[in-house]
Each structure stands twice: as C-alpha cells, then as structure tokens.
Amino acid sequence: MRITVTAFDAFGGLPGNSSEVAALELARGGSGWAPGVLDVLVLPTAYGQADQSLRGLLHSNAPDLLLMTGMASGSQAVRIETRARNLDACPEPDNAGEVRLVDQVRRDGPEFHSAAIDVLALYRGLRARGIPALISDDAGGFVCNHAFYVACHEIARTGLPTQCGFLHLPSIDKGFTPEGAATACGWTASTLGHALHVCINALSLAEGGPSQRV
C-alpha cells in the first residue's frame, strides 16, 4: 500500500500549521510502523498552487490512500470530514493574496464529493485510544475544502482507485511539551502525530480496508 499524507504550510500570519507539524512528526517514525510506503506532501495554502500540486501527485504517482489534513484552530478534537463542497467562500486571502468569496471549485463538478474512506472506523479507532474526535460534514470554504474537493474530483473524473479522506487537526497549545498528552486544554506535536498514526492503522485494519465509503 502506498500512503500519502498531505498537510498545509502556515497561513494568515500564524507562526506554523499544526497539520504540517503533525505530518512531519508522523514521517519521522513512519518507516518502521506504516503498513506500506508512507510519503508526506506539504501543500501551499493557496488555491491555485495547492490545486496544481494535488493534480501533479494524482497524475504522476497516485497513492492507494490519500489522507489529507489541515488545521482547525478553534477545535479541541480531530474532525473527520465526510464531504467536500464545490464552493470557495472565505473573506480571508490565501498565501498568494487571492480571495474567493463565492466561486465554484470546479464548474463541471457536483455540489459535493463524499470522502472515500471508512469514517466510522477512523472515529472508533481514535476514540478507542482516548483521542478526542468528531465527525463533520462541513470542511469550510477556504483552501482545505478546496484541496479536498480537487482531490476527490480528480480521483472520480479519472477513475483512480485512490481512497481519499480529510482530517482537520486542532492547533498546538504551546504550553505543552512534545511528551505531553492531548487533553481538553491542548495538543502537542507528538500527540497530533500519534493521532495520524492511529488513523492510518485504523483504516488499514478496517474490514474491507480503506475503501468503505461514508
């Protein structure tokens, strides 16, 4: 199995992005535990550039599992997104300075694309390990949702067997050390990386593998 985990770089003047921190933390220990070949791709937080990077990945070396991640700074739990919406709608500029208030991601696309992973297996796997998690049907209107939709649309349009899902991760509480634990108060680099580890194992162990749809 080839697994690619994507994350985003810092945006909006923030010093970092928890998804990038988590993905790099995962990669540091990935070769010893991952059920296959693990790659990490950090996407630019910009509509056009993220779009181009994802299409390049899918058309050149598509993975069996594409687990996408972004940051949800207001969340205290891992948010498992069930669908991507064909809508860019955010008043904040991306890292290229572009604002998209009411735009379609793809003019020829459906209103929604559903995640093609076993969402319930993810949720149960996280909760069984004491990791706060919830299931969400709204991935927002910024670059996270845009990238998720682009990936799902390209996979559907070209008939790729790649299974694709998206997680919104909490931001890191700087008051915790990397050896700390996820609590209702904060997260650390190690606990976020551990959460991704748990997600990948849950998907690989789920009955029928990561191909079950929600």
Where b means 16+ CB within 10 Å and e means fewer, 135-157 reads ebeebbbbbbbbbbbbbbbbbee
Looking at residue 30, what is its pLDDT? 56
Query: Contact, 117 vs 164, CB < 8 A?
Result: yes
pLDDT: is 37 or 46 the higher one? 46
Going by C-alpha positions, the residue among 115, 117, 124 that lies closest to residue 210 is 117
| Close Cβ partners of 52 (under 8 Å, ≥ 6 residues apart) | none
Is-catalytic flag, 113?
A: no
Looking at the DSSP bridge assignments, the partners of residue 6 are: 41, 68
Question: For the segment 112-166, what is each residue's pLDDT rounded down to a tens digit?
Answer: 999 999 999 999 999 999 999 999 999 999 999 999 999 999 999 999 999 999 9
| Structural domains of the chain in order of their starting residue, each with its CATH number | 2-211 (3.40.630.20)
Is-catalytic flag, 81?
A: yes
Burial bucket for residue 91 (CB in 10 Å: 0-12, 13-18, 19+) = exposed
From 20, 25, 81, 154, active-site residue? 81
**Count of residues making up the chain:** 214
Question: For the segment 66-90, what is each residue's pLDDT rounded down to a tens digit?
Answer: 999 999 988 899 999 999 999 999 9
From 113, 168, 194, 197, active-site residue? 168
Rounded CA-CA distance 138/82 in Å is: 8
From 90, 144, 164, 199, active-site residue? 144
pLDDT tops 50 at residue 210: no
Residue 7 tokens, joined? 């994350």
